[in-house]
Amino acid sequence: MTGSRRLSQALSEGDGISVLVHVSDAASAASAEDQGAEGLVLDGPAQGLRAATALPVLYRGDSPDSAREAGADAWLLVAEHHHDDGAELEEHYARALRLGLECVVDVRDEEELELVLERIDPEIFLLSPREAEDDEEALDRVLELLPDVPAGKLAIAELGATTRDEVVSLERAGIDAVLVGGGDVAHLVGGPPPEV
């Protein structure tokens, strides 16, 4: 049984940027929801998660089938792992959609983003700072990728640990959500929308 809301709906409704929190179990999921998170990210099955929260769940696992088995609402397709393998990118994307999952596509550079748009044209992107240079901040790397995301698509920035100032900077730039590590996230959520 999947959650009550689609991830895209959680990201696009409301006035401000959404915070997605990486969780490992039902207790951390309930805590994240209590602190104002609008979505959860899970790496593996978590017993009792669906009873603990109604937030949409993005699953980071090997296949859309494992995401479905875990009760997730969306699956993370890492373009880096599939773009050189013939039609594997398209097959995984189509499989996720057939299973009723939204598919979030993780991209790390401009070339990967362009390739993904040509081959599958997803609705939601996760902008990863994995290709940042040693002297480049993760926030700057994500913001460099953002202009290449077409209008009408949703963009999630992956930062891990972050501050409220970084969240505000992402929101001003037009990012729809930020994916952060678990723990106390109440300080990242809320507040009035920034002046633009």
pLDDT digit string, tens, across residues 160-173? 667 888 888 999 99
The predicted pLDDT at position 193 comes to 43
The predicted pLDDT at position 195 comes to 47
Q: Which helix (H) or strand (E) holds 157?
A: strand 154-160
- Which SS3 state, helix, strand or coil, does residue 177 take? strand
The predicted pLDDT at position 184 comes to 72
Rounded distance between C-alpha atoms, residue 67 and residue 100, angstroms: 11
Residue 8: burial class (beta carbons within 10 Å; 0-12, 13-18, 19+):
middle
Rounded distance between C-alpha atoms, residue 3 and residue 125, angstroms: 20
Residue 185 to residues 2, 39, 163: CA-CA distances in angstroms? 24, 12, 9
Find out whether 186 and 35 touch, Cβ atoms under 8 Å: yes
The predicted pLDDT at position 1 comes to 38
Strand partners, 76: 104
Find out whether 55 and 19 touch, Cβ atoms under 8 Å: no
Structure tokens at 124: 């939601």
Instruction: Say which residues have a Cβ less than 8 Å from residue 32's Cβ, sequence separation at least 6.
Output: 21, 23, 40, 53, 55, 182, 185
CATH of domain 7-188: 3.20.20.70
Report yes or no on whether pTM surpasses 0.85.
yes
DSSP secondary structure string, 55-97?
S-EEE-SS-HHHHHHTT-SEEEEEHHHHTTSTTHHHHHHHHHH
Per the rule left: phi > 0, alpha: psi between -120 and 50, beta: everything else, 105 is beta
Structure tokens at 186: 């109440």
| pLDDT tens per residue across all 196 residues of the chain | 344 468 999 998 867 899 999 999 999 999 999 998 999 999 988 889 888 999 999 999 889 999 999 999 999 999 888 666 668 899 999 999 999 999 999 999 999 999 999 999 999 999 988 766 666 788 888 999 999 999 999 999 998 667 888 888 999 999 999 999 877 777 787 654 444 4
